[in-house]
Amino acid sequence: MVLGAETVFIVDLLAIFAVYVIVNLSLNLEFGYTGIPNFGKVLAVGAGAFVAASIPGRIFASLAGIEGDYISDNLLIVSQINVWLVDNVGIGFVVFFLTLGIAAAVGGGLGLLTSYPAIRLRGDYLAITLLAFGESIRIIGNNFTPLVGGTLGVQIPDPLSFLPNEIRFPVATLGMVLIAIVVYVYSERMIRSPLGRLLRAVRDNEVAAESLGKNTTQIRIKVIMVSAALAAIGGALYAFYVGGTIAFAYDRASWTFWPFLMILIGGLANNKGVIVGTLVFVTLRKLIIYFKDSFEGFVPFDVVWLDFLLLGIILLVVLLYRPQGILTEKPTPTIFPKGDSKTSEGFWSKKLNLKKLKRKP
Amino acid sequence: MAFDPIFSDAIIFSSLLALLSIGLSLTYLTTRVPNFAHASFATIGVYIALIATRVWDVVPYLAIPIAFVISGLVALALYHFILKPLIRKGASQAIQMIATLAFDLVVIALLNITADFIVKTFQVTSREFTLRSYDGEFMGLPLIVFVAPITIAILAISLHIVLRKTKFGIAMRAATQNPDLAETVGVNVKLVYGVSWILGGGFAGIAGALMSLWFLGDPNLGPLLIPSVFAASIVGGFLSIYGAIAGGIFVGLTEVLGTRFLAGEFGSWLIAYRPLIPLVFIVVTLLLAPRGLAGINWSRLRRNGSRS
């Protein structure tokens, strides 16, 4: 059985969508709800991918007793590991989830590091500092070979090697979508909790929140750490999905600018908006790449730039004409008014504003 | 003549950084938004120099005024069509920064399209090119080694004269320090801001046109250069033109000569980490002395120094 082109297209789209949903939800937590302009989102994402690239392969190699330098003999070792993984499915999964855990921990640690400037600086100075933090990860990854193989990159063993090729990617995609759903539920519950309201209080008026006895410093540190851990999980999943990591793929545009674009198009501080924005963006980009060949003859340049041009203009238009995005921020319902939510009639009359409709002229 | 090329490198790089940093400060002074597209304005200058030299067959230095005008107009477009409406709508600073990032993306895309167009139409290398061979020579050194610092000096002095002596310059300083008050006494703040953006973008364009004579030109130069430009501006204090010059020279020299020195001490593997230097400058300056060189109270330091 060979998958059709459409199926491959949709499976790939969903996988990238799931990764970006995780990263964007984490950015929304930071920027949308708490107001920390994290222009260095790529730091946590890259860290997660680097963990996925450097740790599980080495664990597998030592478990399977494969000799050799992991970086210089990478292709050979990874193909041996993949053969070995066919018979060791359980270990494969344990190490996979362990890697996600390590990625989250490393991300959280880097989050703690990023929170150092984030509790001391505000506004543009903070954004520039975080941008500098984010830039550094690519430079280090590109040059420090033992980490992710420098400019050549490394391959990552696939814990799903036991599956036949045709269903491996659909299964991987399904897993990623499930993880994205878990992250969505987690972040949605966090936003609806008292903590979520505190985040918005910090964003809207830090002094007022402080005057009510809230520890805004601590809350900023917490949010940055949680969000970095989530982003690192997203990065690790992406690395596993594409089956390799190369440092220059973790640049400012892909993992800082695109996420900002998606949450701004979808709607800041609205997790449903994040989903919508991500879907719009990922589909648009995929379609441009998909139909690239049919454009090629008509324009005298590489079509990739059309994509940049289009997305840049879309973002500018959204910022100028609909700054709140497709879906706007809504007050979160915490407690339903008494007797209103219990009966379906009361709920719907509230939802649809039936009273207004019933009123006779 | 034994003149290590690294010194030419250092002189040119730090002069250009100073020029870019002056431009960035000029725009930051007005709208208080760090312009992420600033370095791409310089890339526009690089391509104008390329077109002037390879397509029109003229001396590359003739590209300087054209680059000034075009980059200035692009900067004005960013201010007038994007930042001004955003500010009017009360968008936060972070949103304005994202808008400059988006504008940068558009400029980079257009530059790449231009580069592809140049290759296809004129069969001229338009990526990773250098115009060094089109430069003149003076005392056994390429002309640019002298032209770059002299240009900075001329521009800085004329800017100083404009800001201090002319009516327009005084209006400009008033408008940046207190726009409301300036408006009440009849200064056209919007016009002044627009001129600042033209000057800021234009300076970046000049830097780009000069840059093409020494460094490799590429459409994606902007994002690579922007950390150094920010570092220079931040070290200089971001709000001071003179600080920007000092910061540019300081960061530029450190980046080139510091890397060379450290590589000599610890081994050549360090050279690849050169892009980390501006990042370290940014982080250290913002955390320890957020107002940069311009914020240090030199007279007090001197007094304390003489007392001890």
**A138-160 tens-digit pLDDT:** 888 888 888 887 778 888 888 88
Q: Is B279–A260 a contact, with Cβ atoms under 8 angstroms apart?
A: no
> What per-residue confidence (pLDDT) applies to A334?
58
Neighboring chain B residues of A261 at a CB cutoff of 8 Å: 102
State how far residue B1 is from chain A, nearest Cα, in angstroms.
Answer: 35
Measured distance CA(B194)–CA(A150) in Å, rounded:
45
Task: Select from A113, A126, A135, A142 the residue whose CB has the most chain B CBs within 10 Å, as the one to mutate to test that interface.
Answer: A135
Asked if the structure places residue B2 within a domain, the reply is: no
Specify which residues B98 forms β-bridges with: none
- What pLDDT score does A229 carry? 95
Q: What share of chain B is helix, strand, coil (3-state, %, to 5)?
A: 80, 0, 20
Which chain A residues are within 8 Å of B120, Cβ to Cβ?
A: 300-301
| Distance from the A39 Cα atom to the nearest Cα atom in chain B, whole angstroms | 9
Domain span holding position B196: 7-307
Question: For residue A257, which residues of chain B lie inside 8 Å, CB to CB?
Answer: 101, 105
For residue A305, which residues of chain B lie inside 8 Å, CB to CB? 109-110, 112-113, 116
Gap between the Cα atoms of A250 and A246, Å rounded: 8
Residues of B in contact with A308 (CB under 8 A): 105-106, 108-109, 112
A317 interface with B at CB cutoff 8 Å: no
Tell me the chain B residues in contact with residue A121 when contact means C-beta distances shorter than 8 Å: 286-287, 290
| Contact assignment for A319 to B33 by CB distance below 8 Å | no
Is residue A244 within a helix (H) or strand (E), and if so which, with residue range? Answer: strand A244-245
Rounded Cα distance, A27 and A39, in Å:
10
Contacts of A136 (CB under 8 A, 6+ apart): A43, B276, B279
Q: Does a structural domain hold residue B44?
A: yes
DSSP output for A150-171: GGG-EE---TTTTS-HHHHHHH
Residue A192 banded pLDDT, cuts 50, 70, 90: confident
**Contact between chains at B113 and A315 (C-beta distance less than 8 A):** no
- In this structure, is residue B169 part of a structural domain? yes
Pairing type for strands B141-142 and A154-155 reads: unpaired
Sequence-ordered strand ranges (E) for chain B: 137-138, 141-142
User: Considering just the CA atoms, what is the radius of gyration of chain B in Å?
Assistant: 20
In whole angstroms, give the CA distance from residue B241 to residue A231.
39
B231 by DSSP, 3-state: which? helix
Query: Is residue A245 within a helix (H) or strand (E), and if so which, with residue range?
Result: strand A244-245
Establish, for the pair of chains A and B, how many residue pairs have beta carbons separated by less than 8 Å: 131
Are B93 and A124 an interchain contact pair (Cβ–Cβ within 8 Å)? yes
What's residue B297's pLDDT?
Answer: 66
pLDDT the model gives residue A296? 67
Q: Which of residues 43-82 of B touch A (CB under 8 A)?
A: 82
Q: Is A253 in contact with B287 (Cβ distance < 8 A)?
A: no
Is B182:B174 a contact under the CB 8 Å cutoff? yes
Q: For position B298, what pLDDT does the model report?
A: 65
Between chains, do B286 and A129 touch, taking CB under 8 Å as contact?
Answer: yes
**CA A12, A27, A142 angle in degrees (round to 5)?**
70
Radius of gyration of chain A (CA): 23
Residue B37 belongs to domain with CATH number = 1.10.3470
Test A39 with B97 for CB contact under 8 angstroms.
yes
pLDDT band at B73 (very low <50, low <70, confident <90, very high): very high
Q: Is A329 on the interface with B (CB under 8 A)?
A: no
At A332, is the pLDDT very low, low, confident or very high (cuts 50, 70, 90)? low
Q: What pLDDT does residue B189 have?
A: 85
* Among candidates A123, A125, A312 on the partner chain, residue whose Cβ is nearest the Cβ of B106: A312
- Number of structural domains chain B divides into: 1
Average pLDDT value over all residues in chain A: 84
CB contact under 8 A, A127 and B94: yes
Q: Which residues pair with A155 in a beta bridge?
A: A244
Q: Give residue for tokens 């680059």.
A: B67
Query: Is residue B283 domain-resident?
Result: yes
Assess contact for A278 and A262: CB atoms under 8 A: yes
Distance CA B49, CA B59 (A): 9
Is B71 inside any structural domain? yes
Question: What are the beta bridge partners of residue B129?
Answer: B217
Q: Is B283 on the interface with A (CB under 8 A)?
A: yes
pTM for this structure?
Answer: 0.86
* Cα(A289)–Cα(A329) distance, integer angstroms: 32
**Scanning the structure block, which residue is given the tokens 């789209």?**
A13
Is there a domain that residue B79 lies in?
yes
B154 touching chain A per CB within 8 A: no
Taking the Cβ of residue B86 and every Cβ of chain A, the question of whether any pair is shorter than 8 Å is answered with yes
Partner-chain residue, chosen from A37, A128, A260, that has the shortest CB–CB distance to B282: A128
How far is A252 from B275, CA to CA, in rounded Å?
14
- Asked if A189 is an interface residue toward chain B (Cβ–Cβ < 8 A), one would say no
Per-residue pLDDT of B126-174, as tens digits, reads 777 777 777 767 777 777 788 888 888 898 899 889 888 888 888 888 8
CA distance B206 to B49: 10
Domain membership of residue B175 (yes or no) is yes
Q: Is A323 within 8 Å of B286 when comparing Cβ atoms?
A: no
In the structure, what pLDDT confidence band is assigned to residue A15 with cuts at 50, 70 and 90?
very high
Q: Please, which pLDDT band fits residue A67 given cuts at 50, 70 and 90?
A: confident
**Residue-wise pLDDT tens digits, A291-314:** 777 766 666 677 778 888 888 898
Find which of B47, B84, B97, B269 to mutate to test the A interface (most A CBs within 10 Å of its CB).
Answer: B97
Note whether residue B1 is domain-resident. Answer: no
- Confirm if B35 and B172 have CB atoms less than 8 A apart: no
